[in-house]
């Protein structure tokens, strides 16, 4: 898995997804980030890359920092945003080559957020998404290490916090993609409970909040 290649491919997919949007479509609220429209989320994605290249990146990626990225581009139309992003492609990939592949995660997560807002499925099992799942489930494992064993059973992917599948006190069964997005804090508590085939997911809910509060409405991308 090459994070630079995965970032580049995701950028190209996002550009294809948004470049012909009408102003009305760009104003669509993104269910996964309900404080932002499609335009706002795209502005954040581009602003994040610009700030990373500029060395302006707080450890906590706090709300004030991300909102400044959106506010600074509020008057830019989609074409202007994409022009800025294309200009950042070489600098951000050079930064990744010199530092790490962290920006890949942001673009992959938000690509799916945009797809959910626009109703266009795709890119659900890329190498980058699989790598992100492994990264996120590693954090989840740390968060639940003091709790009884929990298992995820997907279409092809199975994960256990420890022990054997039969011994998992709580078991969630869903598609690989849904489980991946749940680890990214992109599935509701109702969805998590609906997937619980055995046990109680309640004690584990905080571990699903690694990237923020769980959505109040069900999400599907």
pLDDT of residue 156: 97
% the chain with pLDDT above 90: 97
150-153 and 170-173: which strand pairing? parallel
Domain ranges of the chain: 3-118, 127-209
Give pLDDT tens digits for 20-54: 999 999 999 999 999 999 999 999 999 999 999 99
Q: Could you tell me the sign of the dihedral formed by the alpha carbons of 50, 53, 56, 60, in that order?
A: positive
pLDDT of residue 57: 87
pLDDT of residue 58: 86
pLDDT of residue 61: 86
Give pLDDT tens digits for 133-153: 999 999 999 999 999 999 999
Give pLDDT tens digits for 152-203: 999 999 999 999 999 999 999 999 999 999 999 999 999 999 999 999 999 9
pLDDT of residue 100: 96
Please list, in sequence order, all residues whose beta carbon lies within 8 angstroms of the beta carbon of residue 103, skipping any fewer than 6 positions away.
7, 48, 49, 52, 92, 95, 96
Alpha carbons within 13 angstroms on the beta-carbon side of residue 106 total 18
Give pLDDT tens digits for 99-143: 999 999 999 999 999 999 999 999 999 999 999 999 999 999 999
Give pLDDT tens digits for 54-95: 999 888 789 899 999 999 999 999 999 999 999 999 999 999
pLDDT of residue 138: 98
């Amino acid at each position: 898995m090459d994070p630079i290649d995965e970032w580049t491919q995701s950028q190209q997919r996002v550009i294809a997804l948004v470049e012909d949007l009408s102003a009305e479509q760009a104003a669509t609220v993104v269910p996964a980030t309900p404080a932002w429209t499609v335009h706002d989320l795209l502005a954040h994605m581009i602003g994040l890359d610009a700030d990373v290249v500029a060395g302006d990146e707080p450890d906590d990626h706090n709300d004030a920092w991300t909102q400044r990225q959106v506010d600074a581009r509020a008057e830019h139309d989609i074409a202007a945003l994409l022009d800025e992003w294309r200009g950042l492609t070489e600098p951000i990939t050079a930064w990744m080559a010199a530092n790490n592949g962290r920006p890949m995660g942001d673009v992959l997560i938000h690509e799916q957020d945009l797809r959910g807002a626009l109703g266009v499925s795709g890119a659900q099992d890329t190498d980058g998404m699989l790598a992100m799942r492994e990264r996120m489930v590693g954090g989840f494992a740390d968060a639940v290490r003091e709790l009884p064993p929990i298992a995820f059973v997907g279409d092809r992917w199975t994960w256990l916090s420890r022990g054997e599948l039969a011994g998992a006190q709580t078991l969630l069964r869903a598609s690989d993609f849904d489980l991946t997005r749940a680890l990214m804090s992109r599935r509701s508590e109702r969805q998590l409970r609906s997937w619980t085939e055995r046990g109680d997911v309640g004690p584990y809910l905080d571990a699903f909040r690694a990237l923020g509060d769980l959505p109040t409405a069900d999400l599907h991308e």
